[in-house]
Amino acid sequence: MNGSRGSSAATAIILVLVLIILVVLFVYLTAPTEYDDPKLRAARAKAVDACETPIKYQIGGIDPKLACQASLAICDKMPGLDKVECYVGLEGFRAQPTE
């Protein structure tokens, strides 16, 4: 009898651990990401567009498209709201239409 009681206790502990792991996994997978923020998505989309149509002149001998893409990669690594401001700053790379 003692052997079966220990076995059922071990089984119960394993089931509880599995349940905890499943709950943590569910919460992790359903948590909103920063890209769910519409303001952030819109700012990044404008920055990417600006990098696709960059200004024509070089900046200190550096290709503006490469400079914009490098800056975009840096913005992607920034935390929270600083990221939005960084993306907005990249819109300065956009070529202005000639009149």
pLDDT value of position 20 = 92
Tokens representing 53 are 């149509």
Could you give phi then psi for residue 62, rounded to 5 degrees?
-105, 135
Residue 6 is predicted with a pLDDT of: 65
pLDDT of residue 62: 77
Phi, psi of 59, deg, nearest 5: -105, 100
Q: What is the pLDDT of residue 99?
A: 45
Phi, psi torsion values for 34, nearest 5 degrees: -65, -25
pLDDT for position 18? 92
Q: Write down the pLDDT at residue 96.
A: 63
Successive 10-residue mean pLDDT values, the chain, 99 residues: 68 91 84 71 87 72 82 85 84 67
**CB distance 89 to 46 below 8 Å:** no
The ranges assigned to domains in the chain are 1-31, 34-93
Given this model, what pLDDT does residue 1 score? 47
Ramachandran class of 61: left when φ > 0, alpha when ψ lies in -120 to 50, beta otherwise: left
Cβ atoms < 10 Å from Cβ of 90: 24
User: For helices 38-52 and 64-77, what crossing angle results, to 10°?
Assistant: 160
